[in-house]
């Protein structure tokens, strides 16, 4: 049995002992692994889907969330390296895409097995400047209004005082992690990258999504879907999952034939 389900960092609702590939799914800011619930049912049977659960959310709500990239990636890389029974790919959305990218670089730097492929969703390429800064320092009302405007936090949730009192430290930490991120030049990843974008996403335009190309020495593809920043979790969800299933089938086929991934 895979060691991944026993780790507090991973949730694997549907373990697949016969899997040949694990897909690690990293959530966006303010979210936990639960946003990927049900994804395994829509993806190839040979793929075991495991959500990444950083501290500060869902079952780890009582733990302090990371507000800087390096310690988060160091901790996650150690967990991934300890669960190396299967080759893996990474799907990350928004902050999760950036974490997945830095995870791949951290594993490479440590001489560990990195992902076979990175699916970077809803995030401009990591070398592009952040157009916003210091949002995490805003007063509570202004901070929450910014999150509601982006679409990831329903207004009825933001207006629930007790719930927001619990969630605000996590939300501020996740936003700070993104705002404090500083890209460092390094050779492109050996693994291929597929960038998914929302056609109406104000946070990652088509050119900003296509700019992921320079970060891989392997194959690159950009795919676009109807929707805003949270397109994988809205009306486009089924199409996103069908597309991801096809991309994973292609990845497995290429791996079987010894082709670049």
- The set of catalytic residues is 94
For residues 211 and 125, is the Cβ–Cβ distance under 8 A? yes
Largest CA distance in the chain: 55
Q: Which two tokens stand for residue 106?
A: 């951290």
Name every residue whose Cβ is closer than 8 Å to that of residue 12 and which is 6 or more positions away in sequence.
2, 4, 5, 48, 49, 50, 51
């Amino acid at each position: 049995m895979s060691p991944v389900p026993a780790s507090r960092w991973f949730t694997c609702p549907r373990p697949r002992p016969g899997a040949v590939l694990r897909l690690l799914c990293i959530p966006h800011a303010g979210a936990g692994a639960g946003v990927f619930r049900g994804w395994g049912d829509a993806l190839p049977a040979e793929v075991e889907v495991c959500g990444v659960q950083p501290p500060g959310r869902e079952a780890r709500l009582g733990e302090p969330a990371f507000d800087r990239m390096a310690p988060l990636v160091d901790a996650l890389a150690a967990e991934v390296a300890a669960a190396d029974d299967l080759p893996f790919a990474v799907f990350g959305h928004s902050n999760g895409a950036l974490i997945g990218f830095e995870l791949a670089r951290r594993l490479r730097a440590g001489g560990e097995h990195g992902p076979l492929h990175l699916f970077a969703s809803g995030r401009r390429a990591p070398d592009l400047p952040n157009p916003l800064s210091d949002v995490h320092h805003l007063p509570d009302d202004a901070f929450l209004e910014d999150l509601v405007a982006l679409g990831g936090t329903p207004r009825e949730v933001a207006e629930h005082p007790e719930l927001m009192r619990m969630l605000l430290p996590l939300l501020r930490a996740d936003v700070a992690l993104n705002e404090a991120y500083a890209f460092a030049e390094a050779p492109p990843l050996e693994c291929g990258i597929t960038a998914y974008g929302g056609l109406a996403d104000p946070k990652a335009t088509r050119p900003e999504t296509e700019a992921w190309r320079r970060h891989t020495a392997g194959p690159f593809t950009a795919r676009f879907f109807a929707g805003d920043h949270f397109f994988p979790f809205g009306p486009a969800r089924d199409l996103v999952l069908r597309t991801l299933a096809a991309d994973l089938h292609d990845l497995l086929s290429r791996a079987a034939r010894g082709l670049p991934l």
